[in-house]
Structures are given as structure tokens and as C-alpha cells.
A and B are shown apart, each in its own frame.
Chain A
Amino acid sequence: MSGAVLALFPDWSGPVVHYILEVGLPTTLRISAFAVLGATVIGILLGTLLTIEFWASKTAIRGYIEVFRGLPILVTVFLVYFGLPALSPELEFGPVPATILALILWGSAQVAEATRGAVGSIPREQHEAAAALGFGWVGRHVYVIVPQALRRLLPPLVSLLVNIIQNSTLAAVIGGIDLLQSAKAQTERLTFFPPAGIGEIHAVEIFGFVMLLFFVISFPLTRLAAYLERRLA
């Protein structure tokens, strides 16, 4: 019995798991937290502004939404990471901030589209009642309309969280040490000869562990999103 457990956790696995959980996981969580926060705030703002019938603002916000929803997120990451510094040296970001920024651009476009629908679904009487109470456009939306729309926004926001957590792995492509990159680094280290490594390949176990971690984080959230969706319907 104890032999079977030992075989399940060989000597090399300890340092690998520690590195992935202590270096990779916090980076993934940090990217996800900042990206979700930024995407939600900017997305709700843009989506609410999109309900104003004014051609200039509508065209600009529509363009923003269509561009960042249309581009593969990796291309947006490259635009931020390689493109901005080429425009101006001051716009140079490290891999982690660049990924956060790219995910905010993509995520806010998603949220803006969902917000437009949610805000548009609030009946006109609510606008009229709020206006009758003396609220201007801003007060009407901040205190009356958007809070009601948030209920409808909850399922897409949970889905956004799942998507952002998964897409935070794009940081690995440009060298950010997230879950995926930390796993890749450890896999490569183990292939070296001692003392650095053990001269063995354990990619299946290590990437399998990363898959398991993502699954454990994502699965409850996708269930939650589905549950919220059903409860709303």
C-alpha cells in the first residue's frame, strides 16, 4: 500500500510540484484577477455607453468590440508585447503585464457586448421612473439600470472568468512564468543530468498535473455559470 503511494509520488515530483504551485500558480492567479477586474469594469462602462444613440460613440465602441473579439487573443498579446514598444519605447511591458493588458482588451470587448444586451433588456419604465426621481443619465445608470442589469450579466461574467483563467496561459508564449511555463521549465530541468536534473522525461505527468489543476479550478466555475444561466431562464 505504502509502496503504491510512493510510486505515485516519486522523488523528483516534490520540487516540481513546489515550483509549479509556488511560482507558476500565483502568476496565473495574478494575471487572471487583474484581467477579470479590468475587463469587467471597462466592459460594463463601454457596454453602457453603447446604449446611447449617438453615431460617433457607437461606431467607436462597436469597432473596439469587433476588433478585439475578432482577433485571436495570441495576436492581441503580440500587438501589446511586440507592437506597443515598436510604437514607442515607453510602452514596453513585461510578459505578465502584457498578457493582462491583452486579456483586458479581449475580455472588455466580450463584457461590453453582453452589457449592451443586459442594459437594453431593462424595461423603459425603469428609465422613466428613475428620471422622474430626478436622476440624470449618469445617476440613472449607476444607481438604477446597471445594478439591475448585473443580475443578467452574472452568468457571462463567470464564463469570462473561466476563459480568462484558461487564456492566461498565453503568458507562457512570451516567457511569463505562469502555471504552464513553470511546468515546461521543470520538465526541461528534469531532462538534464544530475545535479540539475535526473536525465529523465516526465512531460506526461507534469503537463497532466497542470491539466488537472486547471480542471479543478475551471470545472466548479463552469457548473456555476450553467446553474446561474438556468436559474435566470
Chain B
Amino acid sequence: MLAVYDLWAFVAENWRELLDGLVNTLKVSLIAIAGSAVIGIVLGAARAYRVPVVSQLAAVYVEVIRNTPILVQIFMIFFALPQLGIRLDAFTVAWLAVMIWGGAFNTENFRAGFEAVPYRYREAGYALGFGGVATFLNVTLPIGGRIALPSSINTYISVVKNTSLMYVIGYPELTTTAINIANLTLETLEALTVLALVYLTLVWGLSAAIRLLERKLAIPEMR
């Protein structure tokens, strides 16, 4: 093996596959982020307002997901569900697993956000003649959602990072793609360099974008 470290040659040779991998990572991440946002808002509201039954079920969901490793959850969905007759393809497992994981953390994020909205704001909503749902949509969600924004965005960044675990089910996202190329070409160091750089660019870029967004969405009186 000619062990000459040549990053550019490696990228020039393999950029198509790597790009496909990155696209798959982004695809899975976007679906999971959107899904976990919906789960977080709905179940977070159910928790904050103590909606009977739903609130208790949501609490169990949150505790189970937060207190077990995501890798075990992925194994459960991919290797164990087929025993019950539920067979999902790798792509579905990929977004479903990180969505379920992110949704649990987001439920806590949004619950805390909604609970931080002072009761007098909601009273003001009712005084204006809004019903319960209208008050939630027009008062609690815009304010509590912004309070929950920083923590929920940290969850989304973790969701992106956790898509790398889909290596274990062979879904061809970025990590699987890079390791497969490394096994094929033996250019391990080049593959790992690209892998690390792309993830750092994604994560750092996302964090920087978020700080901008946070400033833009900050609640005026809390600025």
C-alpha cells in the first residue's frame, strides 16, 4: 500500500459518493427535525397543560427515550420489530429513530418553554376573547416557542450528529459512505479527514446560524 496522504486526490476521486452520502444525511436530518419539532410542540403542550392521559403517556415516552441509549433504540426498531411483523427499510428506520429520539428531548424543551410563559399573558389572551386553542397558538406558542428555541436547536444539532449512527443499519449516509470508501480504497486517513471536516462544518455552521436567528427572534422585552 502506497501510504501517501493526498486529500485532494481522494476528494477528486470520491466526491460523488460523498456528496450522495451528505445529501442522505441532510434528508434524514430534515425529516427528523421537522417531525421532532411537531412532536415536541404537541407533547410539550400536553405536558405543560397536564392534559390527562396524554401527559402521563408523554412523560413515560420522554423518560424511556432519555434513559436508554439511542443505539439500543435503533437496534430495537431495525432488528427487533421484524419479529413482530413490522419490517421497515433502512431509510425509514434512519429518520424514524432520530425523530423519536429528538421528539422526546424536544417535548422537554417545549414543556419548559410553555411553562415559562407567565399566566397573566394567557389571562390577557382570554380577556381578549380567545379560546384555549387560540390563546395557545397566539400567545403561548410564539412566546414559549422562543424561550424553548436555544435548547430545541441544540436538540436538532444532536439529531444531525446522531444520523451518523445509521452506520449500524447500513443506511448510506455520510459516515457509512466514508467508511465504505475507506475500506475499499484503504485511504483511511483521507476518508476520516473528510468525514470529520464535513460534520464540523455542518455543526459549526448550524450553531453560528442559530446564534443569528436567536438574536433576530429574541423577545423584545427580554433583549
Residues in chain A within 8 A of chain B (CB atoms): 66-67, 70-75, 78-79, 82-83, 86-87, 162, 166-167, 169-170, 172-173, 180, 184, 187, 201-204, 206-208, 210-211, 214-215, 218-219, 222
**Closest partner residue, chain B, to A69 (CB atom):** B203
Interface residues in B, total, Cβ within 8 A: 37
Q: Check B83–A202 contact: CB distance below 8 A.
A: yes
Contact B67 A203 (CB under 8 A): no
Q: Which residues of B contact A67 (CB under 8 A)?
A: 196, 200
Least Cβ distance of B155 to chain A in Å?
14
Residues of B that sit less than 8 Å from A by CB: 3, 63-64, 66-73, 75-76, 79-84, 161-162, 164-165, 167-168, 175, 179, 182, 188-189, 192, 195-196, 199-200, 203-204
- Is B69's CB under 8 angstroms from A169's CB? yes
A75 touches B69 (CB 8 A): no
Q: B199 → chain A, closest Cβ, in Å? A: 6
Please measure, in the bound complex, the distance between the C-alpha atom of A212 and the C-alpha atom of B108, giving whole angstroms: 21
Other A-B contacts than A70-B203, A74-B175, 14 sampled, CB-CB below 8 A, are A66-B204, A71-B203, A75-B175, A75-B192, A82-B192, A86-B192, A170-B71, A203-B83, A204-B81, A204-B83, A204-B84, A214-B68, A215-B68, A219-B63
> When chains A and B are docked, how far (Å) is the Cα of A90 from the Cα of B16?
34
Contact B75 A180 (CB under 8 A): yes
Contact B162 A214 (CB under 8 A): no
CA distance A148 to B167 in the complex (A): 43
Q: Main secondary structure on chain A at its contact with chain B?
A: helix
Q: Looking at the assembled complex, report how far the CB atom of A92 sits from the nearest CB atom of chain B, in whole angstroms.
A: 12
Q: Is A166's CB under 8 angstroms from B75's CB?
A: no
* Contacting pair A172 B67 (CB below 8 A): no
A203 to B164, CA, bound (A): 23
Residues of chain A lying within 8 A (CB to CB) of residue B83: 201-204
Contact, CB under 8 Å: A74 / B165: yes
Q: List 25 A-B contacts (CB under 8 A).
A: A66-B200, A70-B200, A71-B199, A72-B161, A72-B162, A72-B165, A72-B199, A74-B167, A75-B175, A78-B175, A82-B182, A82-B188, A82-B192, A86-B188, A166-B68, A166-B70, A167-B69, A180-B69, A202-B83, A208-B80, A211-B64, A211-B76, A214-B72, A222-B66, A222-B67
